Amino acid sequence: MAPHHVLKCCQRSLAWIPVIFINLVVGWSYYAYVVELCIFTIPNNAEKISYLVVFHLFFIMFIWSYWKTICSRPASPSKEFCLAKVEKEQYEKEQPDAQQNILKKAAVGLPVYTRTGTGAVRYCDHCQVIKPDRCHHCSTCDMCVLKMDHHCPWVNNCVGFSNYKFFVLFLAYSMLYCVFIAATVLQYFIKFWTNQLPDTHAKFHVLFLFFVAAMFFISILSLFSYHLWLVGKNRTTIEAFRAPVFRNGPDKNGFSLGFSRNVVEVFGDQKKYWMFPIYTRKGCSYDK
């Protein structure tokens, strides 16, 4: 049987397969659009240049937001949520009821308002920390993640407090990227399909490019719309399926501050930076 660390290494390597797949598709779409469509198929230079300018604008923003989502390290609870050494040793020796008393004393003064379904203080035995509100343990990342939304295999990363803005922008720009390709390729797709253009090596790329762009646009549109709804409600995907429990009981709107402030919670208070995948919220960046 292979050692545990070898299995972990294999799992981490395999987790990059969806990311590699997306990058291969995007790389091919770039070649198909720029080379096969714009250079070899479109005869009008003005149309060709305008298409290339807009295409590269969407392409850059899409790749930028995508890799920011991938590379942003998930935010974990700060040291103040860890039990002191004495408390930790005592916690490990006690029974569940006594353990809760230790956690309640340790949680005094901490900004913790949510509880488990039974009303207990939320504690991660694996990470050995009192869980801040909206924090959950990700078994894939093997850590507690602040404001965890979900673990996304397409970015091989946890989507949460540190990169949720980047993830929403990634969905937005990938959708714009796909719809722009589909809209501009459509007329040449029809011409190739109806044999108004000669059969060349560009035909396959143009026909397939339209189908792929349209397919991805439809699938991303529903996901993007759902996350816009979550932003407006100030909920995570986890909270949408299971309402957070407070001292007075479950409340699905417990973190809502009103639509405008909910948007600011994700994108920051400076609107001029909303469309860029850069840190615009205090506490999101590790350069603080």
Q: For position 287, what pLDDT does the model report?
A: 40
Task: Between 75 and 9, name the one with better pLDDT.
Answer: 75
> Considering just the CA atoms, what is the radius of gyration of the chain in Å?
24
Instruction: State how far the Cα of 245 lies from the Cα of 66, in Å rounded to an integer.
Output: 33
Spot the catalytic one: 135, 138, 144, 152.
152
Q: For 8-46, how does the pLDDT look when each residue is reduced to its tens digit (9 = 90+)?
A: 788 888 999 999 999 999 999 999 999 999 999 999 999
Q: Is 119 exposed, middle or buried (CB count within 10 Å of its CB: 0-12, 13-18, 19+)?
A: exposed
Q: Which residues contact 201 (CB under 8 A, 6 or more apart)?
A: 36, 40
Asked if residue 100 has pLDDT above 70, the reply is yes
User: pTM of the predicted model, to two decimals?
Assistant: 0.93
Q: For 133-158, how does the pLDDT look when each residue is reduced to its tens digit (9 = 90+)?
A: 999 999 999 999 999 999 999 999 99
Is 152 catalytic? The answer is yes
Q: For 251-273, how does the pLDDT look when each residue is reduced to its tens digit (9 = 90+)?
A: 999 999 999 999 999 999 999 99
The answer to whether the beta carbons of residues 112 and 132 sit under 8 Å apart is yes
Band of residue 247 on the pLDDT scale cut at 50, 70, 90: confident
